[in-house]
Each structure stands twice: as structure tokens, then as C-alpha cells.
Structure 1
Amino acid sequence: MKKLFAVMLIPFFLTSLSVVSTEKTIALTNEEKYQLTSNVVAETTYFDSIPTNPILAQDSSTYKDTALTTVSDTLLAGDTLSIVDLTINDSAIPVFELSDGSYIEASRQFIYDDVVISQENISKEYWLEDGFKVYQAPYVTGTKEVKTDLTSYSEVTVTQKATTYHGTYYKVDGKGWISEDDLSATDNRMEKVQQVLNQKYNKSNYSIYVKQLSTQTTAGINADTVMYSASVAKLATLYYVEEKLQDGTISANDTLKYVDTVNSFAKAYDPSGSGKISKTADNKEYTIDDLLKAVAQNSDNVATNILGYYVANQYDDDFNSEISTIAGTDIDMKARNMSSKTAANLMEAIYNQDGDIISYLSSTAFDTTRISRDIDVQVAHKIGDAYDYKHDVAIIYADEPFILSIFTNNASYDDISNIANDVYAILK
């Protein structure tokens, strides 16, 4: 039976069979082929649409054909492209057609879309640098600069932050966008102070030192040049006495007797000089507070001598050690030579003490001349005059207080006032 079945199957295997096919050949465009074969790498390597603001990232060739075989021209990095179409060539490479009929590979390696990458709202204070520029929008290629009434070294409030391929930009409402390279996070007005000093007061007979107390930034002209300081050296006496008041060694109501010896010790001032207290010993008792007022307000030589004799122990080693520490250098109270910077250090130390001396130095017999003459805020200052030397050292209580120390030789009070006015105009 099995043999019979096998014999019956032989004609079936020997007969040719007709196969009916349902498959058709489909013609795909280059674009369709690219869509089918592209992967993540291709998508990040090539553009899939025409960029908004296409810029060349590097020198690149353009071609006369989509196959990119015949060079048409060479364009430079930074050139703006005028693109009219995006196509795929026979090698499945995306190609941009340019407005002049040439072609360039649509590669992100060669071309970038110069647009704003990110933007956010903020609120922050900055200071404008010298030479800053303001733009109508966060800077990308083609963004125009705008004119405003903003000035260098002035404070601005920014409300938005944007990032582009050119950097980070901040918006000043009603003005425009400014690069972070043109902004300072800290008060930079001392840079302008230095510019003005260099331009107008760079003279050998000036020693000028300016210090902004909040930032500790400084400016100066010949700041370390030493001159005879005259009564400016009395700042050391004022500081030392205030220290003794604050540590409880003495009291403001303690009295000191005016005897002959207070005017005759080695480092005493000439009693016949400035001041209202008797030029000769009157054996009267004077309170420490009254003596401080006399020194600060009238630059009284005798009052200085009394304090120097009793409280500073005729300017002994303890005095010298403490004063040299805060002054940044040794001070000889007999020679009284120092620089404007040293005097400023003494005044800053008095500022930090924040004692009654500040108010005494703010109401003196010399307020109508020199530093304080034209300034409309509190000025605590100490003057010094001798021979051709005229000096003034001050704390100026602007919104951000600063120290201004001006030493001059063969100059006038008006010269000192002019320097002070120029500095104050910047830092007020």
C-alpha cells in the first residue's frame, strides 16, 4: 500500500508549478530613503530644517552641484548664509541650496543656527564697565547696537538673562541687552577714580590715596610718597586715646592737669601753634573728652601734647607698636613723616572704632576749605599745614563711605577741594 502511494506522488513532483507574485518595485525619493535610513547620529549631525539665522562655523566650500563635487566658492567663518531649500543628494547627505544657486552640506559641524539658546527672568544689580555696548536684543549675528543714556561705572538692575553662541547677555529694562563681559558684579567706580587721578592729578607734588570702605578697593597717585604730615599725625593720638576709652583704661570724664612738662617732652608739638588752649601751662584740669574735641575740631597742639604726655606715655613703645600695626608702617611722632596712604590707614582705623571722635572730626574749624568745602554729606576730616605742605584726610559719608587722603607740597586749598570734588562726583 505504501509503495502504491509513493508511485502516485511521482507525477506531482515532476510537474512544473506556476507561481503568482504580488510584489512590486517602488521608487523612493532621496528624501524618503534618508528618512528610512537615518539614525540618531545623522539627526544630530545634520539639519532637518532650514535654520533661522545660519552662520558658518568655519571656512567652508560651496558647490555647483548637489553631489558636492565641483567647488563653486569658499566662504569664511562667520559668514551669514542665505538658504532657500534643504534637499537630500544621491549619497543620502542633506544639502542646503543657497540663494546664488550653489550648494553646501547641511552639517552642524560647518553651520550653526545663531539664535537665543536660553532665556530666563532674574533680578540682579550690576555695574557697567567702561566701553560697554547695548543691543536691541540678546546678541546674535545681525543684532543692532542701540544708544542709551547709560554711563560707564553706573549701577543697573537687570531683569532677564539670555544665552547665545556669543555669550551671556542681560536685559536692562527700557535700555537693551548688555554682555556679561561689560558688567561687573561689584562696584567698579574706583576704576574711574583712578582714571581721573591719572588724567588730572598725576603730579609729583601730590600724594593722593582713595579707599572705598565697602569693597576695600583703592586708587591713588604717589600714594606711598612720604611728606611732612604736620597735624595729620594727630590722628595717631586720637586713635590711641579712643582705644583706651573703649577698653576702659580711661574715661571721657577723667581729667588731666596742664603742667609745663606736657609741652617739653621730646615728641611734643610746639605749643605756640594751632589751638585755643593757653600756650603756657595754666595748671588747670581738662577732661579727656574736652581735649579730644580740641584736637579734632581745632587741631590744638597743647591738647595733643597733654593727651600724648599722659595717655600715650609720651608716645612710648606700646603706642608705637599699636600705631604701626594699624598704620601699616612705623610712625615717628617727632619727625611726623608719612604718606597719604599711611594717613588713610589711620583714618580708616578711627572709622572702624566708630567713637565720638567721628562726630568731632565732622564739625571743625576747617570745614569751609579743602576736602569738605563743597561736599554736601558728612565729612570727618583732619587737616595739616606746615611750611608749603597742605594736607587733608577725610572719611566721606557717601552712600558707600570712602577715605580720601590728599597730601600736597606747594599747592593750594582750592587744589585740594578740586581733587575732592572730582572724586566725590564719582563715588557719591
Structure 2
Amino acid sequence: MSKLPLASALCALSLLAGCYAQPSEETAAILDAVSSVSAEETDGEDSSTPETSSVAPTPTPESLMTEEEALTALNTYLDGLDGLVSVSCVRISDGYTFEYNADCEYYAASLLKAPYALWLAERADAGEVDLSTVVPAQNSSPSRTAMEAMISMISLSDNDAATQLYRIWPAYTESDFSQFLLDMGVDRPLNALSDETNIQGVFTSRDCANILLALWDYFESDAPNAAALKQAFLDADHPMLESDYPMAKKYGSWEYVLHDIAIVYADEPYCIAVLSDWGNDSEDFPEPGASRITEIGNLAADLMTYAPMQDVAA
């Protein structure tokens, strides 16, 4: 049991005795002495009201989007669009995949320039093609090296540059370009670039995802032409798919088709291919198709960010 202070004990005794009179001189002296001691003990203490801390409280963290929420948002948006659209996304580290109408076929348009450039670069690495070859001028494109033409064909989607290249190295349907596509998982024997066909063939969004994965592997290699080709795709600065991260992109636009594909160099890099029938033959990035592809890219980015990482077999 704790002991009462002397002053409190004396007061308590007085109350028990039913006496409320002034204390005697002796008791008063004792109370004064006790009060003096209590005052000395508290002289060094701050008796003022404690100051309110100026440190702001830690905010409650925003809840992260779940995979289900991101998936629902993307599917709901796609389901509400007019016309035909296909999407394929693959997160590179673990293979997490999203597909929507992934088997629908579209005219490839300038998307075919992407595997054609990879085909030329790999052949050059093997010594079968010399990219220092000077190619003749073509319409608005001056005479220049094949490497310069290839960079322009990708970064600017330059049709004249493509013509400069395939007039020297045509990708006939009978050439090994068909086998090159097949090796990437793209079974398209009729896809070709030549004077006879210009750009011929069809792709699905799944085909394009496979091409992007092949480009990723090449860009990450130490092949002689990998860095230059990667930079050409990174320099492709067109609307539609957008990101705060670097993107290696290629678009295709023609009558009844509007496409954009990209490797997104996010914290967890991923490939995305969006193919649609929203194009026309008089404008490269017609609306509302271009803005729709931008929104699809944004929603897909949420999914690729918030979907949990999958275990990858050793």
C-alpha cells in the first residue's frame, strides 16, 4: 500500500474527527514545511501545458489496386468500344499474360517493318547483309547507308526507307523471312515486303507480342547491331501508347487499321500490342482511335503493375 503524504494524512485525520476548524499552530507549521518541500521538488518542472507536436501524423497509405480491379477496368473499357480491337500484354520477367480478341487478324501495315528490321539486323550480325551498303535515293529519301535507312524506317515509319531496303534485300514469301517469322511463333507464310507486294500480310495481337519478345531478347543481347536497332525503336515518338517509362515502339496505320505495339521499360518491363480497325487512309492517328489506344495502354499498365508476380519454374 502506498503511504499518504504527511499533509494529506493530517487533513484526513481532521476530516475523520469531523473537525473543519483551522489547524492548530503546530499543525500549521507542519503543513507549511511540507508545502515548502513540495515547491522545491517542482521548481525545475515545466508546469505549462505541453506543446502540441508539430510533426504531421503519418498519412494512411492509399490502398493498392488489386489485380481483379485492374482486370475488370480493362475488360469493361474494351467491351464498351465500337469496332474491333485486340490486345495482348506479356510481363517479361514472369510471363504474366493478358489477351483480348488475341486471335483476330488485321492487315499488318507498317507493323511488318519491325520483324523485317530484326531480320536484317540479325543477318548483318551473321555477315549475310552489309548495313554500310549505300542504298539509292527513293522519292523524298536521299541516298544513304542501309543502317541509316533502317533506323528511319523504324523511328519515323519511313515508307521510302523501307523501299530502299527491300529493293536490295526483298522479303519474298519464298525467302527465309517466312521461316524467320515462324521461329518467333508467327505462322504467317504470306507476309512479305518486296517491290511486288510493298507490305503484304496479316497479324494478330498475339503475333505482335511474340515479335516484341523476340525484339526484347535481341536488344538485351550483345549482338553487333542490337544497340542501334533498340535506339531506333526507342526514338519512335508518336502518339497512342504512352508511358512515363521509355518505350520501344512501332505503329501501323492504314485504311481500316490502327495499331501500336511497344516494349515498356517499366520497373517490371512488359510488352503490349493493340490492334484495331479504327484507321483510315488519310490520317496516321485518327480520332477517336488514337485516344482509345492511349487509354487501353494506361489501363494495361495498371494491370501489369498490380497483378502479383508469378512463380517462374527454374
Matches within 5 A, 1:95-114: none
Matches within 5 A, 1:124-143: none
Match of 1:360 in 2: 232
The residue type paired with residue 352 of structure 1 is D
Counterpart-to-counterpart distance in 1, 2:69 and 2:104: 22
Match of 2:296 in 1: 419
Counterpart-to-counterpart distance in 2, 1:250 and 1:421: 39
Q: For residues 228-254 of structure 1, give each alpha carbon's deviation from its aligned partner in whole angstroms, at most 9, with x where no partner exists.
A: 121111112111011112223234423
1:304 maps to 2:178: no
Match of 2:6 in 1: none
CA contact (8 A) 1:383 1:392 kept: yes
Distance 1:385 1:149, change over 3 A: closer
1:342 maps to 2:207: yes
The residue type paired with residue 72 of structure 2 is Q
Distance 1:196 1:422, change over 3 A: same
Moved over 6 A (4+): none
How many residues get paired? 221
The residue type paired with residue 210 of structure 2 is N
Match of 2:248 in 1: 380
Per-residue deviation, 1:289: 1.3
SS at match of 1:317: coil
SS at match of 2:177: helix
Distance 1:297 1:316, change over 3 A: same
Q: For residues 361-418 of structure 1, give each alpha carbon's deviation from its aligned partner in whole angstroms, at most 9, with x where no partner exists.
A: 111241xx1002xx11101110011113211000000011111100111351000000
1:232 maps to 2:111: yes
Distance 1:403 1:329, change over 3 A: same
Between the aligned residues of both structures, percent identity stands at 19
Distance 1:240 1:312, change over 3 A: farther
SS at match of 1:207: strand
CA contact (8 A) 1:294 1:303 kept: yes
CA contact (8 A) 1:197 1:220 kept: no
Give 1 or 2: higher helix fraction: 2
Counterpart-to-counterpart distance in 2, 1:353 and 1:312: 22
Distance 1:315 1:246, change over 3 A: farther
Counterpart-to-counterpart distance in 1, 2:171 and 2:275: 28
Counterpart-to-counterpart distance in 1, 2:204 and 2:62: 39
- Give the stretch that moved more between structures: 218-227 or 344-353: 344-353
Distance 1:426 1:197, change over 3 A: closer
User: What TM-score results when the alignment is normalised by the length of structure 1?
Assistant: 0.48
CA contact (8 A) 1:209 1:219 kept: yes
**Greater CA radius of gyration, 1 or 2?**
1
User: What TM-score results when the alignment is normalised by the length of structure 2?
Assistant: 0.64
Unmatched segments (≥5 aa) in structure 1: 1-146, 154-188, 260-270, 279-283
Give 1 or 2: higher strand fraction: 1
The residue type paired with residue 343 of structure 1 is C
CA contact (8 A) 1:297 1:363 kept: yes
- Give the stretch that moved more between structures: 233-242 or 244-253: 244-253
Report which structure shows greater RCO (CA 8 Å, sep ≥6): 2
Unmatched segments (≥5 aa) in structure 2: 1-59, 220-225, 279-287, 306-314
Q: For residues 87-110 of structure 1, give each alpha carbon's deviation from its aligned partner in whole angstroms, at most 9, with x where no partner exists.
A: xxxxxxxxxxxxxxxxxxxxxxxx
